[in-house]
Structure 1
């Protein structure tokens, strides 16, 4: 029964987890639209796009105290030739979403998160695809996706080897030098190759230079480093030289438009991916054919953020835009159709052309967005019963036709300003309509998942009450012996829920709903059916609890439970709340018998809680590297491990499977080696000598050994936990850059005192903790299983709280979402997002496993079946997930929306992950490779 329950629970939570993708992470793309291009002659025949990956707006625009700029050429363009502003990006501020936004005009299909950053999860249109020819040079991580998404063979890609993207390079600006050199070769080839010359001389040509050096130097050396700042100067001079070459190649015909921007910025600590202004504010500079020349600023307060004044550019008109608007601007400049899925709005302030051209271009922009709206509206009409269909009223068929007639009339009457205003209003309505139909099924799916959650929680609760507590069983009543009338009453739920399921299936079939809609809508039916059949269990539980401990105490426990759960919820928004929770938890032993008989243990518990409570109040890890703190953590790990090994050697009983005498010293040596590797690697990187091969090989060897060494040690609880902690600590030190190593050792001490406290309060307190073995679990559980009591709920809550403490103790949503490769420099420095991401994930999992292995040992002490306490954890976790389900937002800033969704996904992952963590913990605590047994047999 319990195994079946776990299997069902895993499937149910997988459904709950994937529901968030169908509710909030659905693709914004639609297909079947007709391309729309401006009917008038465009001002430019070709466009040159420079994208300086990872370039912050402030680092390009700012000047020093003497008024000197690090980008003199682009500064002269801003002051003498073109238009400038700030491009506002959206979360996630990563390279792929940024490039998709500025080249294809829509914000990344979020399903790409699960499908990778290099390949297209779906085919999409782009400015490159709509061009006659596009030549591109740069990173193999970015360029190929636009060639793959293009129809025909007209997007040409030239990339350097992936191994060039090495964060340990002495100077990553060579990536940009490579691009500029290839452009020089391209211009030379134009003069010698008639075919190439004829192709490039056509109209609707795009040249794309992807410049990754700034991003790589920012990750490796931080954005305030001389490498990052010098790279900006190199890009500036490279752009100047490239412009001169291109102008000469086309006899300065005045038909080339230029644009320089960035896909995202970067934090001061060298990461990106979240919503900090340093990550979301990027430069946009445009000049050449069809682009407005500099204009005086009409009002210094047009942008009250004060940046223009700081950059000494407040005398020039600043024009900000959303990143997706850049695609519309490029399309208008060279006269290609607007990308089919673009949601960008043409920034007219950048265009130097007639009012007629501007209004026609903006109207084309509106028609392109309207085409998407019409496809989505038609799809929703075809898949929704007429009686249930609710159209988007601000843009009904009649209103849309009226607005189009109004715009045409205004154009014909010579009222371009009024036509532009009306067109902007039409675009906004179309964008609102797209969002309306994109979220059309959200209420249905959200309600289904809500009912599924409540049904699952009711099912788990009745299972716990019926099989894992001492709740009195119901007495048989006279009704149980009655005949047909009572049998009919008992069959009532069968009829009701069967009918409900049939109605749901019929409605979904008529509306041609996707397969997963059947799963979401039908899932609550069997869950509620099972819970409804056992409604008497809940009544008995309430009556028994109130009669046993009293109504006032029940209310008090409920209030305390709500406060405890809300602390967990609030900690997801503010890490500092974890410190408050840890202070509260530190007081727990004072309300137990421990305060009388174990004062030293209480003191240790309190100090360890308060020590861990310090870390959520510190800045998140990653902003500044401090290898001295990593070294300190390593020394503390060494001293603590040495003391523990000496104590075990002096006091423990003969182990059931003896530990090999060399394992303890070997693990101490590995810890010492980890400290050495971290220091020598960072010293080598600081001296621009790269990652030493010996260090890299040793790091991977230590990583691999961490999975094997615990299995070579004794099954005794303390010995196995110590060996596992030492193995994990060595890997954790290799991935540490600051105070997270100290957090790890503080968490280890807290887990140790938690184990001691639970042992002292448990039924196993008569047996010394040092004498308990994980190998005795089957013997302990062979007798009558202990039933759950109220203290077990507290133990389950501690587990959840410590898991979240491990997750947020040294980071937050933004820091975890941001990409900072510094943590994996001991393993590799060449850019590899999946290997690096896996190592960073394992760094977090190590902390989870430290908590889970301790929880596994507490299971043993409590003499509870594994399933009992796990179901309590599951029930509490589902309560958290349900709260975050209600807190998911679809309005406000993109950071708010992304954070709210991240919270729900994190909690859902935690629920599913806990099941896997318990399996991993069982492997690390109970699996042995038999070295001890073989040694014992040999000695005999």
Structure 2
């Protein structure tokens, strides 16, 4: 057959290779004392079945361990405490700074575009601000401005919740659904206002419902499901709908309803609400989010939505001032909940999503100070110098600081779950007012601190140790500071006539209050991570003990024959009274059970401690089999394990820098050439092709991740795929391939052509039968795996090729750029890997696990990593490009979109796992395929253990989020390795190779 043609060039040296391998094999057989008729075939078969059963059992337990320990970070590093039922701290100041506050929110508004000047050809006034209101208020010296740093995940409900309650959902929000309409229960601004209004989408409407006084707040929303993210005209109508409702509320005129042709006036009770003090009106402009997601923020429609909403906001501000007779008692805030990345996604820590605009003006707001040198501004960087606002100082805040700021302006209790610290520099108030409002913030945080300690202490019982800055000590110190402020206030008419010395004393009090607030935050962090060290040890021991057990079990069932296994087992069998390891294990288990019971620990804590105890004891029982790995040579053992650890570290660094994958492949390419020259006396054809494939695949991690559509790259990859697959299917394998595979090859023309067609038209104009055909092809390709490959005995390499053809078709349907060319090179890499391992295995005719087999497992994990990181940096959620899903969906649907994305990512993994099965079956047929796979699990464990200890709870949102993402992705990849290996094992179970073995 033609697939064997590549080995003709090494036939001349084959005899020499056989001589080398035969001598190695004979020596190995002598060491194991195996005679030709020592063990009946039936006993060998039984042992292999028992071996495979035990190995699968170990893999299953490891799978369960990874599933449970994946969520351990929520207990070890990220404890979510949200105590409820606390008494709000009433304002210490008698009179608020303003009577009412109007908040305009650009949903999905990018700060660079909102602050920026019109500069694109589609914009009507080049050089002028997109939002003139912002520039006018700042240049007039009436406003303060800067960047509001949004919290991850940057989704509308989560960000607005943070802005209204100061409660930043942590990673535990994933478990409760951070994109859902119904958020967590917590205290928020609208529970304390006397009157309020909300206008916007339903996804965030529940945040503005007052629990204390439901009749005080009117929530006027439209259903978020009605927004078509791929129809900019329809999406923009919701801003007009908001505009009409708000105009009707303030300007007193009647607004015509286009649908019913009737006239409306204010709703009952609106007039009374608008007359109240402590009024807050929240206006959400959703078109930016809808259009930015569907058309990307670089599109002219996004900029148009910014300008249109700006006109609405400017008119509404005039109506509000007119309605209240320009009494000067209104404060205004303009901001965004999150931004939109260039690829049209949000939800992650990309600065385009987290750097949002923040502008304040009106009563109680201190205008921005002047820059001494506008040409070299002190507070501006390259990001903000382009806005044309360098004459004024920029002041940035965190999103969680907004509730305390609003409360200080309106004279409200600060929400009790608030975690933010008041930015005093934004307030135009006396030092007494500032000191009082900051103390109110400190009392609110201290109350939360005290409540959390009460809850933790209740659980820990006598195991609890109080933090050095206890809630009681902080409360006493805050009380002293409050007395000092009250004394100064009584002597200076609430600070209006304060002397210089009194203001200096107030500044000292403010400084001391900030110190106490920092102590409170440190104490809360201490309580949230109270069991961190203990749980860290338990979880880490779980991973380490499982990894060591994998070593011992593989060496027991592969490197040890039945007689030696029985001898070792018998030598280590001792009575219970003398089995100190078992007695110690039982005693330690009893203590752990007592501790977990006393501390009222969650049920999952028993698994955190149970797994390491079980695996550690099992490893202790199997420890003697570790010596059967590579002999008794201590130096050889140390070097081998050191190289395995080093290889695991090399794989780990690819999660930090994609370029490191390239360096690994280049090193493998060079090593393969040297090894071939040394072993065969020449560089053979399979090695040369394998080295070439490694070099070609190493190019992609050096390229920037795919962030948008590129027709040129797609067409080039499509042409290369078409020529290659048609040549192989209809010429190279024209007699061997099944008709179904050739039909799938022809479907490549459709998949590539329809993807190009869909780029040129809007999704709303695509005939529905096109989407139906795409779904039919998708299900047909998946079905072909089950019904064509699964039940037909074929050559493993041909079966692998048929899977590759399916993968290519899928990639053409999902592809948007050079990912089509990547999948072609990836396919070439898999084929050359199989050929290379078949050639090298001639030198290793040994029935033992050798260091080279770990090298093979290393290459398998590296190939799996390149399929994941080759074209995208998926540590960031924003790297998921929804452009590829438009071949199947007119409108994005969350669950279906997620399923399609996971399927797209998983199929290259399946092909990689299938290639590993083929390597095991054709190259290392003497060894257990499952045992070889467990070697790759060891590398995955090394990565996971590293990432577990690298999780950060301090630092920037990007540092914390990335550290968690690496651990989660590493754990999920391990689960994916196991799942897809199991599927590939079934797919390749009935092959010609297996039939030969049976005969």
- Contact 2:658 2:873 (C-alpha < 8 Å) held by counterparts: yes
Residue number among 582, 587, 599 corresponding to 2:670 in the alignment: 587
Offset from partner CA, 1:780-806 (integer Å, 9 cap, x none): xxxxx9553433222211111111111
Give 1:186 deviation, angstroms.
Answer: 4.6
Counterparts of 1:699 and 1:868, CA distance in 2: 40
Counterparts of 1:726 and 1:181, CA distance in 2: 55
Residue number among 114, 117, 122 corresponding to 1:63 in the alignment: 117
Give the TM-score, by structure 1 length: 0.88
- Contact 1:852 1:917 (C-alpha < 8 Å) held by counterparts: yes
Give 1:100 deviation, angstroms.
Answer: 2.1
2:543 counterpart of 1:453: yes
- Contact 2:297 2:340 (C-alpha < 8 Å) held by counterparts: yes
Counterparts of 1:765 and 1:786, CA distance in 2: 9
Point out where structure 2 has 5 or more consecutive residues left out of the alignment.
1-53, 120-125, 256-263, 490-501, 992-999
Counterparts of 1:305 and 1:268, CA distance in 2: 21
Q: Which residue does 1:934 correspond to in 2? A: none
Q: Which residue does 2:135 correspond to in 1? A: 75
Counterparts of 1:263 and 1:158, CA distance in 2: 17
Residue number among 732, 748, 757 corresponding to 1:671 in the alignment: 748
Residue number among 641, 653, 673 corresponding to 2:725 in the alignment: 641
Give 1:568 deviation, angstroms.
Answer: 0.9
Taking structure 1 as reference, are residues 231 and 859 closer, same or farther at Cα in structure 2, changes over 3 Å only?
A: same
Q: Which residue does 2:387 correspond to in 1? A: 311
Offset from partner CA, 1:299-343 (integer Å, 9 cap, x none): 765425354543222222322111111122122223332122111
Aligned partner of residue 393 in structure 1, secondary structure: coil
Residue number among 898, 908, 916 corresponding to 1:855 in the alignment: 916
Taking structure 1 as reference, are residues 501 and 86 closer, same or farther at Cα in structure 2, changes over 3 Å only?
A: same
Taking structure 1 as reference, are residues 508 and 554 closer, same or farther at Cα in structure 2, changes over 3 Å only?
A: closer
2:638 counterpart of 1:564: no
Aligned partner of residue 142 in structure 1, secondary structure: helix
Residue number among 80, 86, 90 corresponding to 1:33 in the alignment: 86
Q: Which residue does 2:222 correspond to in 1? A: 159
Q: Which residue does 2:163 correspond to in 1? A: 102
Aligned partner of residue 698 in structure 2, secondary structure: helix
Give 1:499 deviation, angstroms.
Answer: 0.8
Structural RMSD (CA): 3.2
Q: Which residue does 1:897 correspond to in 2? A: 960
Residue number among 811, 816, 822 corresponding to 1:732 in the alignment: 811
Aligned partner of residue 285 in structure 1, secondary structure: strand
Taking structure 1 as reference, are residues 700 and 178 closer, same or farther at Cα in structure 2, changes over 3 Å only?
A: farther
Aligned partner of residue 208 in structure 1, secondary structure: strand
2:436 counterpart of 1:436: no
Counterparts of 1:722 and 1:574, CA distance in 2: 31
Q: Which residue does 2:468 correspond to in 1? A: 393
Give 1:578 deviation, angstroms.
Answer: 0.6
Q: Which residue does 2:37 correspond to in 1? A: none
Counterparts of 1:128 and 1:730, CA distance in 2: 53
Q: Which residue does 1:362 correspond to in 2? A: 438
Q: Which moved more, 1:532-541 or 1:142-151?
A: 142-151
Offset from partner CA, 1:206-258 (integer Å, 9 cap, x none): 32222232233333443333222222211211111222333344444444322
- Contact 2:910 2:984 (C-alpha < 8 Å) held by counterparts: yes
Residue number among 457, 460, 464 corresponding to 1:384 in the alignment: 460
- Contact 2:345 2:878 (C-alpha < 8 Å) held by counterparts: no
Counterparts of 1:145 and 1:927, CA distance in 2: 57
Q: Which residue does 2:186 correspond to in 1? A: 124
- Contact 1:407 1:423 (C-alpha < 8 Å) held by counterparts: no
Taking structure 1 as reference, are residues 482 and 821 closer, same or farther at Cα in structure 2, changes over 3 Å only?
A: closer
Q: Which residue does 1:47 correspond to in 2? A: 101
Give 1:488 deviation, angstroms.
Answer: 5.4
2:700 counterpart of 1:615: yes
Taking structure 1 as reference, are residues 488 and 216 closer, same or farther at Cα in structure 2, changes over 3 Å only?
A: closer
Q: Which moved more, 1:721-730 or 1:502-511?
A: 721-730
Counterparts of 2:525 and 2:224, CA distance in 1: 40
Give the TM-score, by structure 2 length: 0.83
Offset from partner CA, 1:842-868 (integer Å, 9 cap, x none): 221122122112122223223243421
Counterparts of 2:511 and 2:565, CA distance in 1: 76
Q: Which residue does 2:618 correspond to in 1? A: 530
- Contact 1:702 1:730 (C-alpha < 8 Å) held by counterparts: no
Counterparts of 1:441 and 1:582, CA distance in 2: 41
Q: Which residue does 1:779 correspond to in 2? A: none
Matches within 5 A, 1:190-209: 191-209=265-283
2:66 counterpart of 1:13: yes
Offset from partner CA, 1:243-302 (integer Å, 9 cap, x none): 233334444444432211112223344433343433322111122333234543467654
Q: Which residue does 1:937 correspond to in 2? A: none
- Contact 1:455 1:528 (C-alpha < 8 Å) held by counterparts: yes
Q: Which moved more, 1:835-844 or 1:129-138?
A: 129-138
Point out where structure 1 has 5 or more consecutive residues left out of the alignment.
767-784, 929-940
Q: Which residue does 2:199 correspond to in 1? A: 137
Offset from partner CA, 1:620-660 (integer Å, 9 cap, x none): 111x32022122222222222212212465453xx8xxx3x
2:418 counterpart of 1:342: yes
Q: Which residue does 1:225 correspond to in 2? A: 299
Aligned partner of residue 413 in structure 1, secondary structure: helix
- Contact 1:681 1:692 (C-alpha < 8 Å) held by counterparts: no
Matches within 5 A, 1:396-795: 397-414=472-489, 415=502, 416-470=506-560, 487=575, 490-541=578-629, 544-546=631-633, 553-590=636-673, 591-592=675-676, 599-622=684-707, 624-647=708-731, 649-652=733-736, 659=738, 661=739, 663-685=740-762, 691-710=766-785, 711-713=787-789, 714-716=792-794, 717-762=796-841, 787-795=848-856
Counterparts of 1:181 and 1:84, CA distance in 2: 28
- Contact 2:157 2:183 (C-alpha < 8 Å) held by counterparts: no
Q: Which moved more, 1:179-188 or 1:12-21?
A: 179-188
- Contact 1:641 1:722 (C-alpha < 8 Å) held by counterparts: no
Give 1:808 deviation, angstroms.
Answer: 1.0
Q: Which moved more, 1:203-212 or 1:343-352?
A: 203-212
Q: Which residue does 2:406 correspond to in 1? A: 330
- Contact 1:470 1:788 (C-alpha < 8 Å) held by counterparts: no
2:262 counterpart of 1:181: no
Give 1:742 deviation, angstroms.
Answer: 1.3
Counterparts of 2:182 and 2:842, CA distance in 1: 57
Give 1:872 deviation, angstroms.
Answer: 1.4
Give 1:163 deviation, angstroms.
Answer: 4.1
Taking structure 1 as reference, are residues 552 and 43 closer, same or farther at Cα in structure 2, changes over 3 Å only?
A: closer
2:309 counterpart of 1:235: yes
- Contact 2:81 2:452 (C-alpha < 8 Å) held by counterparts: no
Q: Which moved more, 1:787-796 or 1:738-747?
A: 787-796
Offset from partner CA, 1:496-517 (integer Å, 9 cap, x none): 1111111111122222222222
- Contact 1:407 1:422 (C-alpha < 8 Å) held by counterparts: no
Aligned partner of residue 118 in structure 1, secondary structure: coil
Offset from partner CA, 1:497-550 (integer Å, 9 cap, x none): 1111111111222222222222212332222222223332234546x252xxxx
Give 1:433 deviation, angstroms.
Answer: 1.5
Residue number among 870, 874, 898 corresponding to 1:837 in the alignment: 898
Give 1:477 deviation, angstroms.
Answer: 8.8
Give 1:449 deviation, angstroms.
Answer: 0.8
Counterparts of 1:664 and 1:452, CA distance in 2: 45
Q: Which moved more, 1:416-425 or 1:168-177?
A: 168-177
Taking structure 1 as reference, are residues 559 and 370 closer, same or farther at Cα in structure 2, changes over 3 Å only?
A: same
Counterparts of 2:568 and 2:874, CA distance in 1: 58
Counterparts of 1:196 and 1:406, CA distance in 2: 42
